[in-house]
Amino acid sequence: MYLGNRGRAQTDNGRQGEYKVFVSLRRGLLLIVACLTSWLVVPRAMAQVTVTTHGNVATATVALPGNNTTYTATVTITFDSALNLTPQSLNLTAQVVNPSDPALTARLPSGVTISPGFPVLITVEPPNFGSPNNDLSFFNTYEFEVHTGDLAYTSDSPYRLFKAPIQPVAGPFIDITYDVLPGSVRARGRGGAFSQFLVVVDNRPLSAVAGVKIAALQKRILAANLSSGLQAQLLGYVTGIQSALNATPPDYTLAITDLDQLIDVIEANAGTNIANEWSATREPVNDAGEMESLAQTLNFTLVRLQGGE
């Protein structure tokens, strides 16, 4: 059908209109895609804690923006023996905190502070899925290491790894350090249950720290479900440690020997005469793991006292 020049013009105008609509739609779609892409990318960029697991080892890479910087660390948890260890069953999170937060500082002993160089609170709170095939459990202890380049290592480093319970309520932080190594700072500790963790600056005298740790170990032995004979044996070692430290001069070698024997007894009875399993159900209580972790951190302090630090 012949439309003439006017018809062709109208048709061309129609096509131009369709083209403009198509361009507008295309731009609109591109804008939507760009927005969606941005929305999808942002969470990845903000993925501040990445957790992987392999065998008995969990590794978390932490990168937290705050105070015009980014705090970074690698957290490694190595279990003696774990079941159902996955990123989901572990549930490790981290956050930047205010080193002067009264709610936080009230949970720290006097003389212990949070370094502004690494004000990071790490929480490990495995959920109870209600299924033995999904719930995390482990035997004895785990090694918890925080490796950060945000802090500078020295041979007499005051940096320590502290742990605090958060169930049923947030409790006081205690020293669980059993090693501090260079690189820049690698703070290590052992635990028999999960909680919150902080790398702190501990300026307390080592002798005072040793006294606090001995008291904590004694209290934990008394709270454990033990036979009277086994309990008396462990408490006897604690008494021996205290007596060696009260000697003039203190006999650190004897104190460490008694402590080593105490640890040997705990390990020899773990799983038979001492409960040694932790589960996301929070039952039973891991007496062996918690007593051993307190003994290991006491050993760290005694070795430092022996070395004159």
| CATH code at position 134 | 2.60.220
| Domain span holding position 238 | 207-306
Query: With contact defined as beta carbons under 8 Å apart, do 198 and 298 qualify?
Result: no
- Do 165 and 287 share a domain, yes or no? no
Over residues 123-161, the pLDDT tens digits come to 999 999 998 899 999 999 999 999 999 999 998 899 999
Residue with tokens 């949070």: 114
- Do 53 and 168 share a domain, yes or no? yes
Last residue of a domain, one of 203, 228, 261: 203
Residues 6+ apart with CB under 8 A from 278: 137, 138, 139, 192, 193, 194, 286, 289
Over residues 50-60, the pLDDT tens digits come to 999 999 999 99
- Do 112 and 241 share a domain, yes or no? no
- Do 122 and 219 share a domain, yes or no? no
In a domain, 24, yes or no: no
In a domain, 13, yes or no: no
State what percent of residues in the chain have pLDDT above 90. Answer: 80
- Do 89 and 137 share a domain, yes or no? yes
Residue 114 pairs with which residues in a beta bridge?
A: 200
Q: How many domains does the chain divide into?
A: 2
Chain-centroid distance of CA 90 in Å reads 10
- Specify the DSSP element, H or E, that contains 114: strand 112-114
Residues 6+ apart with CB under 8 A from 223: none
- Do 237 and 102 share a domain, yes or no? no
pLDDT at 132: 87
Rounded Cα–Cα distance for residues 210 and 103 (Å): 26
- Do 75 and 133 share a domain, yes or no? yes
Last residue of a domain, one of 185, 203, 221: 203
Tokens found for residue 235: 């408490």
- Do 158 and 211 share a domain, yes or no? no
Over residues 170-221, the pLDDT tens digits come to 999 999 999 999 989 999 999 999 999 999 999 999 999 999 999 999 999 9
In a domain, 261, yes or no: yes
In a domain, 106, yes or no: yes
Over residues 5-60, the pLDDT tens digits come to 334 344 444 444 443 433 343 444 333 333 333 333 333 333 499 999 999 999 99
Amino acid identity of residue 223, one-letter, is A
Last residue of a domain, one of 174, 203, 232: 203
Rounded Cα–Cα distance for residues 267 and 250 (Å): 27
- Do 165 and 276 share a domain, yes or no? no
- Do 248 and 163 share a domain, yes or no? no
Tokens found for residue 92: 């490790």
In a domain, 18, yes or no: no
Query: With contact defined as beta carbons under 8 Å apart, do 293 and 191 qualify?
Result: yes
- Do 78 and 190 share a domain, yes or no? yes
In a domain, 40, yes or no: no
pTM of the model: 0.84
pLDDT at 122: 98
In a domain, 6, yes or no: no
- Do 302 and 158 share a domain, yes or no? no
In a domain, 12, yes or no: no
